[in-house]
Amino acid sequence: MATVRGSADGEVDPSVLERARRGDGRAFERLVRHYDPRLRALAYRLLGDADRTDDALQEAYVKAYRSLAAFRAEAPVGTWLYRIAYNACLDELRRRGRAECPADDVPEWADPAAGAEERLADRASLAAALAALPPDQAAAVVLVDADGLGYAAAAEVLGVPEGTLASRLSRARSALRQALRGEAAREETR
Amino acid sequence: MTPAPERDRALGRALRSLDAPPATPRFWADLSSRLAAERTAAASSFPTDAASAVGAPAAAGAPAALPVAEAPEAAVHDPASRRGRRPLVPPWALAAAAVAAVFGLVTLAVRPDGSETVVNTPAGPPEASVPAATSATVGAVASGSVPSTSGPGQAGASVAAPTTAPPPTAPPTTRPPTAPDGDLTPPPWSGPALAQGAVPGVFVEAWEAAGSPSACAALAFDDLGTGAGATPRTADFGSGAWAVAYDQPDAPGVRSDGTFDPAAGRSTFGIAGTSLSAGDDRYDGFAFAFLWSDASRADYGPEGGTGPKSLAYLQVAGQGCLYNVWSHRGEAHLEHLLAHLRFVEGAGAPDRPR
């Protein structure tokens, strides 16, 4: 596959965006390939299934393609794509509900020096805890804590005020920790 | 107690470990098809929702490797296994796309590398109704991105540099470097066959050594693009197959053991008429495809999804075998080669080129 080059701040080369906005299909594909790993991570964590992730992202990219000409660049294009992908995931959830994330599909811990929080969880229980969250909370914690978006950008993606984002984030973090602590306690008593 | 910021960071690290599997070549091929359908829909005034998808690449299934792995230059790739999954393209959209194809509608498809390549799409019947080898997807690519520097003078002795050959008796393919939206281009081999004196003798030698297969006519390049000056030789693709590999000193290629070397200069590019039938099941994960007006098609991309070799599986209308075309010089060069293929007189060329 061709390498997609982006600028240092993680946004795609502006010339690629501009060509895509003018209808250059190749540039559009470069654009979505640039952002796909991040969007895919969000979708997968929300949907818990690789095939459904593909389906949602296909829908998202086609929608983006249709509306890119109207994109006003009032927000970074990455944020705009995040929002489209998030909405596509919500549509997918409305259609078919949440999938349990099979433990076999979840990678092993990547960080061998994991800290206390990581030791509390195994990957399956984390996936399950994330799947148990309402989608808006799951998206908040994924966008901010996993993907590193700022509050403003995450709020933009979710279409809510920053205060609402902060509230959802707090509830999501709390619920995840509680679920993981409970899982760890159950493991210890077995 | 762990401070909140550190707990949040730890939670983030944990969440990041739930990485999604990367997008597959099939995903991008499906997306390309759907975007192509978007353009088709716009061009045909179809309701957008009814034409939002077009036949995906050949039906998914267990990919079959070509049985020619013993040949170092053999364009056998490492087919990535794929789980069975439902098609991304719904049947109603396939039907709509088929209708659009009937009206000859084409559109610009996408490529990730920004090269100046026009892709005609879609045409042909929907995926579900035809064998994998002939199912429709994506269209014809022309070769405007590589300057033509060699001209047709690649003929000569089997191992000689192509410098002294007479010009071909047939005019070279003059298909424009890019195809306009609106119609599929005819294949380059639809023009008159090249005279034997206009192509390296190894093409006819290889074809005859394979038993002069009438259903697998020799195809030769009438222009080598950035491969100009390379030396052709016969290559081993196993029983019943013919192959010509080009060696180009210091260019990317393979060592004698078949491993890639950026300066091996061996088997830098080439073509084979394999012993496989064009309709056999095989790897279907290529990201791109050509489709020509005669229903010939080439599916191509990085070998095994990652390269470094660029590989095409070529089905030529009227020919029963599966052709392989490959290049270590990159995808643009492969596209150039695909756009410069011609039959050779006396080597299985049909009486009336399709």
Task: Summarize pLDDT for B261-279 with one digit per residue, the tens.
Answer: 888 999 999 999 988 887 6
Query: Would you state the pLDDT for residue A100?
Result: 53
Instruction: Judge contact between B101 and B136, C-beta under 8 A.
Output: yes
| Residue scoring higher pLDDT (B350 or B72) | B350
Query: Would you state the pLDDT for residue B343?
Result: 96
Q: Report the share of chain A in percent with pLDDT over 90.
A: 23
CA distances from A85 to A36, A126, A138, B135, B243 (A): 10, 22, 14, 30, 47
Query: Would you state the pLDDT for residue B204?
Result: 94
Position B334 confidence tier, pLDDT thresholds 50, 70, 90:
very high
Across A47-51, A77-81, B304-308, least confident range: B304-308
Q: Which of A33, A52, A54 to mutate to test the interface with B (most CBs of B within 10 A)?
A: A54
- Per-residue model confidence as pLDDT tens digits over A124-166: 778 888 888 888 899 999 999 888 888 988 998 888 888 899 9
Q: Which of A28, A29, A39 to mutate to test the interface with B (most CBs of B within 10 A)?
A: A29
- In whole angstroms, give the CA distance from residue B204 to residue A49: 52
Query: Would you state the pLDDT for residue B352?
Result: 64
Query: Would you state the pLDDT for residue B22?
Result: 86
Query: Would you state the pLDDT for residue B229?
Result: 94
Contacts with A17 from chain B: Cβ below 8 Å: none
**Under an 8 A CB cutoff, do A44 and B39 touch?**
no
Query: Would you state the pLDDT for residue A27?
Result: 84
pLDDT greater than 90 at residue B178: no
Query: Would you state the pLDDT for residue B316?
Result: 93
What average pLDDT is seen over chain B?
Answer: 64
ipTM of the complex: 0.79
Task: Quote the tokens at residue B12.
Answer: 């983030």
Position B307 confidence tier, pLDDT thresholds 50, 70, 90:
confident
How buried is residue B43: exposed, middle or buried, by Cβ count under 10 Å (0-12/13-18/19+)?
middle
Query: Would you state the pLDDT for residue B158?
Result: 27
Rounded to 10 degrees, what is the CA torsion of A190, B3, B7, B13? -120
CA of B23, closest CA in chain A: separation in Å? Answer: 8
B212: alpha, beta or left? (left if phi > 0; alpha if psi -120 to 50): left
B261: alpha, beta or left? (left if phi > 0; alpha if psi -120 to 50): beta
- In whole angstroms, give the CA distance from residue B127 to residue B59: 6
Phi, psi dihedral angles at A77 (to 5 degrees): -65, -30
**Under an 8 A CB cutoff, do B34 and A58 touch?**
yes
**Which residues 127-186 of A are in CB contact (within 8 Å) with B?**
127, 130, 141-142, 144-146, 148, 173, 176-177
Position A72 confidence tier, pLDDT thresholds 50, 70, 90:
confident
pLDDT greater than 50 at residue B21: yes
Position A98 confidence tier, pLDDT thresholds 50, 70, 90:
low
Position B3 confidence tier, pLDDT thresholds 50, 70, 90:
low
pLDDT greater than 90 at residue B327: yes
